[in-house]
Amino acid sequence: MPEVNDQDISGVYIIDKPEGFTSHDVVAQVRRILDTRQVGHFGTLDPFATGLLPVSAGKATRFAQFYLKSRKAYVGTIRFGFATDTYDATGTPASDAAPCPIEANVINSLFTELTGRIQQTPPPFSAKRVDGKRAYDLARQQKPVVLEPVEVEIYALELLGIDGECVRFAVECSGGTYVRSLAHDLGKRLGCGAHLAELRRTGVAEFSEAQLVTLDKLAAAAQEGNVASCRVPMEALLPDCPDLVVHGREEQSIRHGHQFQLARVARPGRGGAASANVPKILKVMNADRRLIAIARHVVGAVYHPDVGLV
């Protein structure tokens, strides 16, 4: 395989995660394909789920902090009639099967109730910590797992179709939302139990299915020395963040990690003159429009280049 250097690989690869793979499995595969240890991901996806998993490589791994709470989108299927201990199809039935007539108007009403800011209890089989231990470790040992509800936001929840006891849906939600818990809670509200039968992630932050790359395609591109065709470059990340173009001594100062005042360098590339809404972060570009740093607002017009990319 041709040698792949850091400059070639830095960026985000929107991997189409196969069913049965953990997010860590995907990271391990990408490490092997790109021949680098510097690989991470933006948001875990359950093994039984498929779809969009943004995987960062090279210097782009430093962007993970900006995507921790990103908006996510999914399509999936909820099966009504019985619950499972994992809240999905991989678990053991936790209730006896019961007939559960499904009516569109009832489902739409429940979807409306669950839209907006809600309190949601994570599943027992989750990575949440209980007294320093992972909840799923306790659950596997059949020990009691008590998790506190957390606030999440459901931006949109849409009924796509009904087939017997199965409901097809689409959801957009905040980071930290468990779609498995959403399915479980719907079953409780209908009084017949439910679990998540299928799940596919279709969006994370600005990333979409149009950018999906399979592991096989990435491997073939690496074999051809053309991984650039599969990646989102760092300059395209955080598209809503203003750009700041710097030159000469200002560029060198920022490259060395020095604070700077916005008035002393070029104006942000978007938005024109400074306004009362001071950007919390800036993407700092050099004259060649290459990203050299992410700068965080300190006070007034002062910014600090927290994330150096040189």
Instruction: Tell me the domains of the chain and their CATH numbers.
Output: 6-69+206-234 (3.30.2350.10), 72-195 (3.30.2350.10), 243-308 (2.30.130.10)
Of 152, 110, 143, the C-alpha closest to 124 is: 143
Strands 260-261 and 291-299: unpaired
Each residue's pLDDT tens digit, 244-270: 999 999 999 999 999 998 865 445 554
Going across the sheet that includes 260-261, the strands are 243-245, 281-285, 291-299, 302-308, 260-261
The alpha carbon of residue 245 and the mean position of all alpha carbons in its chain are separated, in whole angstroms, by 29
The residue that leads in pLDDT, 5 or 156, is 156
Q: Is 50 helix (H, G, I), strand (E, B) or coil?
A: strand
Beta-carbon count within 10 A of 263 CB: 10
Rounded CA separation 306/3 (Å): 30
Can you give the pLDDT at residue 271?
Answer: 45
The residue that leads in pLDDT, 289 or 128, is 289
Residue 185 has pLDDT above 80, yes or no: yes
| pLDDT tier for residue 100 given thresholds of 50, 70 and 90 | confident
Active site residue 46: yes
Amino acid at 157: L
Residue 235 has pLDDT above 70, yes or no: yes
The residue that leads in pLDDT, 188 or 98, is 188
Residue 277 burial (10 A CB sphere; 0-12, 13-18, 19+): exposed
| pLDDT tier for residue 127 given thresholds of 50, 70 and 90 | low
Q: Which of 16, 25, 35, 46 is catalytic?
A: 46
Can you give the pLDDT at residue 252?
Answer: 93
Assess contact for 204 and 52: CB atoms under 8 A.
yes
Each residue's pLDDT tens digit, 63-95: 999 998 899 999 999 999 999 989 999 999 988
The residue that leads in pLDDT, 40 or 43, is 40
Quote the radius of gyration of the chain (alpha carbons, Å): 23
Strands (E) in 227-290, as ranges, are 243-245, 260-261, 281-285
What's the whole-model pTM score? 0.88
Running DSSP on this structure, what letter comes out for residue 82? -
- Residue 144: φ, ψ to 5°: -65, 135
